[in-house]
Amino acid sequence: MRHRRPDPSGSGLRDVFAARRGGFGLDASGVWRYRELVFPDADSDVVTYPEGNTPLLERERVARWAAVSSLLMKHEGHNPTGSFKDRGMTVGISQARRLNARAVACASTGNTSASLAAYAALAGIPALVFVPIGQVAAGKLAQTLAYGAKTLLVRGDFDVCFTLAREASEKLNVYLLNSVNPFRLEGQKTIVLEMLEQLGWDPPDWIALPAGNLGNTSAFGKALLEALDVGLISRLPRLAAVQAQGANPFARSFRDGFARRHPVTAETVATAIRIGDPASHGRAVAAIRATKGVVADVSDDEILEAKAVVDASGAGCEPASAASVAGVRKLVEQGVIRKEERVVAILTGHVLKDPGILLRYHQEADPPPPRANHPIEIEPSLSAVEKVLGEGGR
Size of interface with ligand F0G, in residues (CB under 6 A):
23
CA distances from 335 to 64, 68, 338 (A): 16, 11, 6
Q: How far is the CB of 16 from ligand F0G (least distance, A)?
A: 28
Q: Which residue(s) pair with 74 in the sheet?
A: 56, 346
Q: How far is the CB of 160 from ligand F0G (least distance, A)?
A: 13
CA-wise closest residue to 353 among 110, 118, 140, 108: 140
Site string for ligand F0G, 147-186 (x = CB under 6 A): --------------------------------x-------
Q: Residue 143, interface with ligand F0G (CB under 6 A)?
A: no
Name the residue nearer to ligand F0G (CB basis): 211 or 309: 211
Name the residue nearer to ligand F0G (CB basis): 95 or 115: 115
State which of positions 252-281 bind ligand F0G (CB under 6 A). 272-273
d(CA 109, CA 106): 10
Q: How far is the CB of 308 from ligand F0G (least distance, A)?
A: 17
Name the residue nearer to ligand F0G (CB basis): 36 or 76: 76
Using the contact rule CB under 6 A, the part of the chain among 39-47, 169-177, 208-216, 306-314 near ligand F0G is 208-216
- Chain mean position to CA 187: 12
CA-wise closest residue to 220 among 243, 249, 247, 193: 193
Q: Residue 214, interface with ligand F0G (CB under 6 A)?
A: yes
CA distances from 319 to 100, 269, 349 (A): 36, 7, 8
Q: How far is the CB of 145 from ligand F0G (least distance, A)?
A: 15
d(CA 257, CA 176): 32
State which of positions 318-347 bind ligand F0G (CB under 6 A). 318, 320-321
State which of positions 15-34 bind ligand F0G (CB under 6 A). none
Instruction: Report the residue from 95, 213, 248, 268 that binds ligand F0G according to the rule CB under 6 A.
Output: 213
CA angle 309, 265, 360 (to 5 degrees): 35
The DSSP letter of residue 363 is I
Q: Residue 348, interface with ligand F0G (CB under 6 A)?
A: yes
Burial 332-367 (b: 16+ CB within 10 A, else e): beeebbeeebbbbbbbbbbbebbeebbeebbeeeee
Backbone angles phi, psi at 141, to 5 degrees: -65, -45
State which of positions 31-90 bind ligand F0G (CB under 6 A). 83, 85
Q: Residue 221, interface with ligand F0G (CB under 6 A)?
A: no
Longest Cα–Cα distance in the chain: 70
Residues that bind ligand F0G (CB under 6 A): 83, 85, 108-112, 179, 210-217, 272-273, 318, 320-321, 348-349
